[in-house]
Amino acid sequence: MHIAVAGNIGSGKSTLTRMLARHYGWEARFEAVDHNPYLEDYYRDIHRWSFNLEVYFLKERFRDLIEIEKSEHTIVQDRSIFEGVYVFMQNNKAMGNLSDRDYETYMELFEQMMSVVHYPDLMIYLRASVPHLVGNIQKRGREYEQTMKLEYLENLNRRYDEFIYKMYKGKVMVIEKDELDYQNNPKDFARIVDRIDSTLFGLFPE
């Protein structure tokens, strides 16, 4: 089984992924943010490095999907290939950071990849306001994230909503993150677990 945790930068995806893996005994899979060789260059010069960054992420996420398909264990994944394409890539294109040629090349590559992989069994979308995201980003203190503009996060939030509510064809659970502190409040985490149990195993009413 494949569970994906989706959400904007600073929404708490990695924390929830770790907690769900520990609770259910699932295998956690995280995207290689700190090891991406293009990330710091991207935040310094988004226009120049967008295509490089997006292709690198696409390659890494596709590799993850292939490994997940082969796994005999349940995998909970921090961010999916789908939001990488339909949120971050589309946002970069709309901002003028990719040429039409680069965009078409990227999308053709993605479409070929999709012919050999499947949707996750469940996508958990952590929906958070921009102030909530900013607070979390400041707390974790990654230097390359501190220069992000509010407009960038706002654009990503709009694209996440459009992706989840209008484009994505798989099964989705939306969690309003501003209302919860599942890292420090066991009752909040229990509420999420109950919803997952209901959706995946039919153990509790929604």
* Calpha distance 171→18 (Å, rounded): 21
- Is 175 known to sit in a ligand binding site? no
Q: Which whole-number Å values give the CA distances from 9 to 52, 111, 127, 145, in the listed order? A: 19, 25, 11, 9
- Is 202 known to sit in a ligand binding site? no
Is residue 100 annotated as a catalytic residue, yes or no? no
Active-site annotation holder among 34, 41, 64, 78: 78
* Calpha distance 52→45 (Å, rounded): 12
Q: Which whole-number Å values give the CA distances from 140 to 118, 144, 155, in the listed order? A: 33, 11, 22
- Is 14 known to sit in a ligand binding site? yes
- Is 9 known to sit in a ligand binding site? yes
- Is 8 known to sit in a ligand binding site? yes
- Is 137 known to sit in a ligand binding site? no
- Is 141 known to sit in a ligand binding site? no
* Calpha distance 162→10 (Å, rounded): 19
28 torsion bin: left (phi>0), alpha (psi -120 to 50), beta (else): beta
Q: Give me Rg for the CA atoms of the chain.
A: 17
- Is 15 known to sit in a ligand binding site? yes
Q: Kindly state the tokens that stand for 65.
A: 């999907």
- Is 12 known to sit in a ligand binding site? yes
Q: Where are the beta strands (DSSP E) in 2-150?
A: 2-7, 27-29, 75-78, 122-127
Q: List residues with catalytic annotation.
A: 78
Annotated binding site for ATP: 7-15
Q: Which residues are annotated as a binding site?
A: 7-15
